[in-house]
Amino acid sequence: MTEQQFIPQVYSKDITEGTVSWESPSNIALIKYWGKKKDQIPENPSISFTLNACKTTTVLSYTKKETTSDFDFKVYLDGEHKPDFQPKIKTFFERVLVYLPFLKDYTFKIETSNTFPHSSGIASSASGMSALALCLMSLEQQLQPDMTATFFNQKASFLSRLGSGSACRSIEGDLIVWGENETVEGSSDLFGVKYPYAVHENFKNYQDTILLVDKGEKQVSSTVGHNLMHGHPFATQRFAQAHDNLASLKPILESGHLDAFIALIESEALTLHAMMMTSMPYFILMKPNTLEVINKIWAFRKETGLHIGFTLDAGANVHVLYPKSQAEVILKFIKTELASHCQNGQFICDEIGFGAKQINMSH
């Protein structure tokens, strides 16, 4: 596959106005993407669980313009006009214009809302950018009706990636791989693909309770964070490790070996933070409460033998992962022991989901 495949030929239809709407979920990486090359190409492969409850709903309204001078759009979050979102969307439009040549032909109204609090430390760029990319793809599909469903998903993932790297893993579910590697046939740096191999029942309906340890704005933007991997003393080893971990994960997912799964995902989470602690400049993104939570999870796991594990994003919040079969006891532990370490006691219960859904379509 090359980028060229996503540059459309002349469109067969003409659409003057309409509205499309998609909801797209967030995702949580089990093997972490950290470090990128030019054009949002990842330095190493990643694999993520697609989430279900944490999602963005985007409504895109479009009207054909008389003249095609420049981009013309307004962004609204929860009904409120957000001029500060404009630059990021404009950058995205500039990056994808060659693949969506109709972008300057329309006036767009982008209305978006999240099921989770904005700046709660849950990556809204993954769900937000993928929802927008899907809406734009729905418009392109009307201009080019013979598009296949497979191509639609691939191109939506490809476009999402140009908005936010991890967004390319939000189009489908339940396990998505992004980044070319030898373990997963058909894997690509250009878009996310569904994990194609056997997955044990233990990982079906897997639960993710997100502990909102720190709801502040991100200390380090993702772009800055990824750039710290250029010239990082351990970068080469880290990228190789991600490939090795993906290879190790395949038999774990097939066998349902929960102890091995937990050991691998926790090591990945801590490695991600180790890379930031050892970059220049260096950052510690965990908070004291993050460490309290991790230590309590370890003690509880040792004491009960239950399969509770954690992963982290590039921030202080903790994703507590566990099989549905043990949810009752583990949730009780979360409420009684871990919630007190969250800001205002807040946590979000989520589980594995199966990707984005189109909501409605009107012409």
Lowest model confidence (mean pLDDT) among 41-45, 196-200, 242-246, 313-317: 313-317
- Over residues 277-305, the pLDDT tens digits come to 999 999 999 999 999 999 999 999 999 99
Q: What is the mean pLDDT of the chain?
A: 95
Residue 68 has a pLDDT of 78
Please compute the mean of the pLDDT values over residues 248-261 and round it to a whole number. 98
**pLDDT greater than 90 at residue 215:** no
State the pLDDT confidence band at 110, using cuts at 50, 70 and 90. very high
Higher pLDDT, 2 or 241: 241
Total residues belonging to the chain: 363
**pLDDT greater than 60 at residue 217:** yes
State the pLDDT confidence band at 117, using cuts at 50, 70 and 90. confident
Residue 120 has a pLDDT of 63
Residue 211 has a pLDDT of 97
In the structure encoding, which two tokens stand for residue 153, read together? Answer: 């998903």
- Over residues 296-338, the pLDDT tens digits come to 999 999 999 999 999 999 999 999 999 999 999 999 999 999 9
Residue 360 has a pLDDT of 75
Could you tell me what percent of the chain has a pLDDT over 90?
A: 92
**Are 17 and 362 spatial neighbours (Cβ–Cβ below 8 Å)?**
no
Please compute the mean of the pLDDT values over residues 76-98 and round it to a whole number. 96
**pLDDT greater than 90 at residue 140:** yes
- Over residues 120-131, the pLDDT tens digits come to 667 689 999 999
State the pLDDT confidence band at 361, using cuts at 50, 70 and 90. low
**pLDDT greater than 70 at residue 270:** yes
Interstrand relation of 347-351 and 357-362 (parallel, antiparallel or unpaired): unpaired
Burial of 109 (0-12, 13-18, 19+ CB in 10 A): middle
Please compute the mean of the pLDDT values over residues 271-275 and round it to a whole number. 98
Residue 199 has a pLDDT of 98
Q: To which residue do tokens 């373990």 refer?
A: 183
Please compute the mean of the pLDDT values over residues 152-160 and round it to a whole number. 98
**Are 85 and 77 spatial neighbours (Cβ–Cβ below 8 Å)?**
yes
State the pLDDT confidence band at 116, using cuts at 50, 70 and 90. confident
CA separation for the pair 178, 189 (Å, rounded): 6
Radius of gyration of the chain (CA): 20
Q: What is the pTM of this model?
A: 0.96
| Greatest distance between any 2 Cα atoms in the chain | 69
- The sign of the CA dihedral 271, 274, 279, 281 is positive
Lowest model confidence (mean pLDDT) among 37-46, 212-221, 247-256, 260-269: 212-221
Please compute the mean of the pLDDT values over residues 257-264 and round it to a whole number. 98
